[in-house]
């Protein structure tokens, strides 16, 4: 029975893809949201992941005749896997829209979609939220493989931190693990500057974050003009990579002053190419997905997502 033939106002049928590594308060949030959804009458097919790739595979198996929504329950990395699975599904047939149940460390996509981290509010959005089309980006690395992202892709300092991050420490300290690894990276040799081409115009930077969204590392403002519903990427260029300026950028980000900071520049574009030390990491939505050199561009197709607005 397709959605068009279902009774108007019928509870949404949910395929919930869940990363079970979330523990403590995140586990309690997950269980509380599911309890709220059950009270709202939403049928749920809950599928826990057991390893990398499961979330994307489950999403690619979603069926619009059985599921009205795919719910990605996890951090931005798990959500990214689900997004990639739905994009693969869309190449052959219709896909259900995506809703998110944020259980991550930063929950950047939740911030972009206007979600509050309160179980009752999250469940209400999943059950009744409006659906809008969201633009995506793609990063094609040295191996020729393209990885889709909803938030950002980056090369330089943040990608090196993501690559070296101790996941056990992340589970223990949350965002504190990123601070620890950032200090370690600042004490290491700084690689040569990155060579960046944006729609044919050349730039040089120590680090680059190509953003599809306003926020970074939570609700910190990175690219004020970026919007998920606009197919335009915002290349955020960090000119200086020494420890002093790295700390200065971090403080400016926390205070909301980064967009006007010295040595920081935003250039919009459609075709962004980054070169540097060959084999250096490229991160997308918080996971390493490629190696330099990389080409970053908007994805021609959009994805339907449930929003709080």
Q: What share of the chain has pLDDT > 70, as a percent?
A: 97
Q: What is the pTM of this model?
A: 0.91
Place of tokens 């019928």: 10
The count of other CB atoms within 10 Å of the CB of residue 185 is 17
Q: Is the dihedral of CA 213, 87, 72, 74 positive or negative?
A: negative
Predicted confidence (pLDDT) per residue in 159-210, tens digit: 999 999 988 888 888 888 899 999 999 999 889 999 999 999 999 999 999 9
Predicted confidence (pLDDT) per residue in 47-84, tens digit: 999 988 999 999 999 999 999 999 999 988 899 999 99
Predicted confidence (pLDDT) per residue in 9-40, tens digit: 789 999 999 988 776 888 999 999 999 999 99
The residues near 10 (Cβ < 8 Å, ≥ 6 apart) are none
For the chain, list the domains and their CATH numbers.
3-128 (3.40.50.10330), 137-300 (2.60.200.40)
Distance CA 93, CA 85 (A): 12
Predicted confidence (pLDDT) per residue in 96-142, tens digit: 999 999 998 889 999 999 898 899 999 999 999 999 999 999 999 98
């Amino acid at each position: 029975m397709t959605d068009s033939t279902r009774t108007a106002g019928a509870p949404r049928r949910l395929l919930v893809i869940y990363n079970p590594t979330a523990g403590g308060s995140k586990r309690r949030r997950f269980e509380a949201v599911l309890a709220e959804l059950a009270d709202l009458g939403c049928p749920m097919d809950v599928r826990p992941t057991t390893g990398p790739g499961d979330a994307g595979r489950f999403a690619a198996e979603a069926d619009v005749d059985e599921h009205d929504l795919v719910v990605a329950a996890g951090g931005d990395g798990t959500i990214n896997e689900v997004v990639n699975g739905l994009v693969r599904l869309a190449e052959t047939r219709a896909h259900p829209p995506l809703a998110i149940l944020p259980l991550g460390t930063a929950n950047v996509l939740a911030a972009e979609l206007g979600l509050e981290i309160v179980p009752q509010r999250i469940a209400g959005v999943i059950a009744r939220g409006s659906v809008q089309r969201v633009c995506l980006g793609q990063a094609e690395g040295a191996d020729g493989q393209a990885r889709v992202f909803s938030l950002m892709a980056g090369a330089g300092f943040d990608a090196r931190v993501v690559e070296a991050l101790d996941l056990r420490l992340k589970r223990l300290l949350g965002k504190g693990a990123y601070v620890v690894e950032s200090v370690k990276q600042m004490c290491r040799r700084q690689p040569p500057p990155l060579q960046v081409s944006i729609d044919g115009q050349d730039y040089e930077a120590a680090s680059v974050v190509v953003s599809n969204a306003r926020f970074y590392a939570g609700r910190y403002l990175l690219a004020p003009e970026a919007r998920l519903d606009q197919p335009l990427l915002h290349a955020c260029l960090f000119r200086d990579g020494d420890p002093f300026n790295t700390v200065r950028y971090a403080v400016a980000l926390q205070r909301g002053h980064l967009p006007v900071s010295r040595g920081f520049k935003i250039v919009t574009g459609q075709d962004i190419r980054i070169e540097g030390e060959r084999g250096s990491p490229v991160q997308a939505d918080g996971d390493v997905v490629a190696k330099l050199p990389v080409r970053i561009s908007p994805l021609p197709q959009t994805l339907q997502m449930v929003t709080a607005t």
